[in-house]
Amino acid sequence: MDGDVLKSFEMQATACRKLGSPFTAEVCAILAERLDETSRFGRRVLDWQGDPVADALALRAAAGFHALKRAGRSTGLAGVYPPAPLDRNALANALLDAIIAEDDFLHDWLDSPPQTNEVARSSVLLGAALILGSELGLPLDWHEIGASMGLNLGFDRYRYDFGSASWGATDSPVLVRSEWRGPGPETAAPVEIRARAGCDLNPLDPGSRKDRERLLSYIWADQSERLTRADAALDVAAAASWRVEKADAAGWVAKHFSAPPTSGAARVLVHTIVWQYLPEATRAAITATMEAAGQQATPEAPVAWLRMEADGRDTAAVRLRLWPGGTDREIARADFHGRSIEWLAH
């Protein structure tokens, strides 16, 4: 296996263990050890033309096997996947058998990057919306790039358990439970989403069974709570009026934030674990657009930029920049899947 590819699979295995998925960690580790060039799938992985880390190659590969299991196309995988106890040797044999039986499927599955649209990250979105509601007292026009299926666009329609507090409609089918450390957000602050929109290079339709299965296949097979939560959020999104627009992020942000501001609402740009996948030119263009929009912001028409992104540490940085003024503050540190949040805002 190519050195960079091998390292990327080993790194992903380590990350999966830290994020509570020993099963997916073993899938990545086994592929690093056993994959060879006797299959189309193996050759494509080993000869990957892009950056295997930035392209999340290991997670693409692992999701392909999960998709086969979920579709009932492999009795071998069905026998070793959760809830079955983890048996490394049996898992390795089942993976290798699946490569032989479903080589073309696994090869083609690698075309698209993972789109988990992790619903528990909505805890961070709600926390930021509560800050904005408290400080601005205005409705929010919510814009998300890398929105995939739009599950997190509906964050205000979920119910939340913060441990010491709760928020949201008690009859919502989606329960987001995160471990909060620190003071926690002010749950009494107003949150009004006046408008919402999202874009993605490859938007998925929550009303499509095929698209639903694709997204659920990216969620790690031994994390049943994530799967249950995503399934419920898919139902909410399918019934909602919004759909994610197919668009390049830079052009889409320019369309929504280059227009002169209108009084009476705050325009908010949001992204969670997206920045690392964007080309440098796209990141630069979005930054320029947001800074220009910030220059036009007024107290009656503010602009906010919320980012939950990796910064080289074990948790993601959650930063909120607000104009006028352009103040940029770290409001939280968050587990990449939203399992725990260290709240820093006061």
Confidence of residue 162 (pLDDT cuts 50, 70, 90): confident
What's residue 163's pLDDT?
Answer: 80
**Does 114 map to a domain?**
no
Average pLDDT over residues 303-320: 96
Q: In this structure, are 188 and 254 located in the same domain?
A: yes
Note the pLDDT tens digit of each residue in 1-11: 568 999 999 99
Q: In this structure, are 84 and 131 located in the same domain?
A: no
Q: In this structure, are 313 and 189 located in the same domain?
A: yes
Query: By mean pLDDT, which of 60-74, 107-121, 318-332 is the weakest?
Result: 107-121
**Does 204 map to a domain?**
yes
Q: What is the DSSP string of 277-292?
A: GS-HHHHHHHHHHHHH
Question: What is the span of the domain harbouring residue 102?
Answer: 3-109
Radius of gyration of the chain, Cα coordinates, nearest whole angstrom? 21
User: How high is the mean pLDDT of the chain?
Assistant: 94
Query: Going by DSSP bridges, is the β-strand pair 193-200/140-145 parallel, antiparallel, or unpaired?
Result: parallel
Note the pLDDT tens digit of each residue in 92-102: 999 999 999 99
Please give the share of the chain, as a percent, with pLDDT higher than 90.
87
Cis peptide bond upstream of 185, omega within 30: no
- CA quadruple 63, 277, 9, 21: dihedral positive or negative? negative
Domain tally, the chain? 2
Q: In this structure, are 101 and 124 located in the same domain?
A: no
Q: Tokens at residue 124, please?
A: 């961070």
Note the pLDDT tens digit of each residue in 218-249: 999 999 999 999 999 999 999 999 999 999 99
Q: Which of 109, 133, 168 is the last residue of a domain?
A: 109
Q: Which of 87, 109, 131 is the last residue of a domain?
A: 109
Q: In this structure, are 169 and 295 located in the same domain?
A: yes
Q: CA angle, corner 190, sides to 185 and 191, nearest 5?
A: 85
Query: By mean pLDDT, which of 160-169, 218-227, 313-322, 331-340 is the weakest?
Result: 160-169
Give the separation between CA 346 and CA 332, rounded to whole angstroms. 10
Give the separation between CA 2 and CA 10, rounded to whole angstroms. 12
